[in-house]
Amino acid sequence: MASARAKTMYRTKCKESVPDADGFFHWKFEPIFDRMAFEIVMNIIHGQTHLLPDKVTLDTLAHVAAITDDLQCHNAVKFVTDAWLERMQTSPPKEICPDLRKWILVASVLHQPDIFQSTTRLAIVQCRGPLLGDDIPIPPTIIDAIESMRIQLLGELTKEVEQTIDRLSRGNSPCTFECRSMLLGALIQETQCARIRLSDSFGSLPNISLTTALSDIRNFRSPDIYTSLSEYDGPMDEYQSRESNVAWKLERVFEEHGHASYSKKDKKHRKRISAADMRENELDAYPRTLFRHQCSIVRLFEPFLQKFEASITGLNLSDFSGME
Residue 322 pLDDT: 56
Burial class (CB in 10 A: 0-12, 13-18, 19+), 42: middle
Residue 31's SS3 state is coil
pLDDT score for 100 = 96
Report helix, strand and coil shares of the chain as percent, to nearest 5.
50, 10, 40
Report the 10 Å Cβ neighbour count for 313. 12
In the prediction, which pLDDT does 278 show? 53
Decide: helix, strand or coil at residue 292.
strand
pLDDT at residue 268, rounded to an integer: 45
Residue 213: which residues within 8 A CB-CB, separation 6 or more? 154, 157, 195, 196
DSSP one-letter code for 196? P
Residues of the chain with pLDDT under 50: 1, 4-6, 9-10, 200-203, 230-232, 236-243, 246-271, 323-324
What pLDDT score was predicted for residue 259? 44
Nearest to 228, CA basis, from 268, 278, 178: 178
Half-sphere exposure of 174 (CA within 13 A, CB side): 6
Amino acid identity of residue 51, one-letter, is: L
